[in-house]
Amino acid sequence: MKQPSSIQPASAPPPPPMGSIDTATLELLAAWKAEDSTTDPEKLREADEEVAEFKKAMDENRAASGARLLFP
């Protein structure tokens, strides 16, 4: 029985090394962060309220199912 070859064909690019940095993704995330950034106190307050509501809903759901609370 012939064993499969572990050598990749010359036309295929080699896979990126494990642990390599994906700069394109990091640049995209930085651009999104810059677009969404604000110093408007009202928008910051609204964002804080949304996070607080989310945490409360997560814990209410977990409490109802008997699971450990994430944000006690």
**pLDDT tens digits for range 6-54:** 555 566 777 666 667 789 999 999 999 999 899 999 999 999 999 999 9
* pTM of this structure: 0.53
Output the pLDDT for position 3: 62
Instruction: Decide: 35 and 41 in contact? Cβ < 8 Å.
Output: no
Span 55-65, average pLDDT: 95
Instruction: Decide: 71 and 59 in contact? Cβ < 8 Å.
Output: yes
Instruction: List pLDDT tens digits, range 15-27.
Output: 666 667 789 999 9
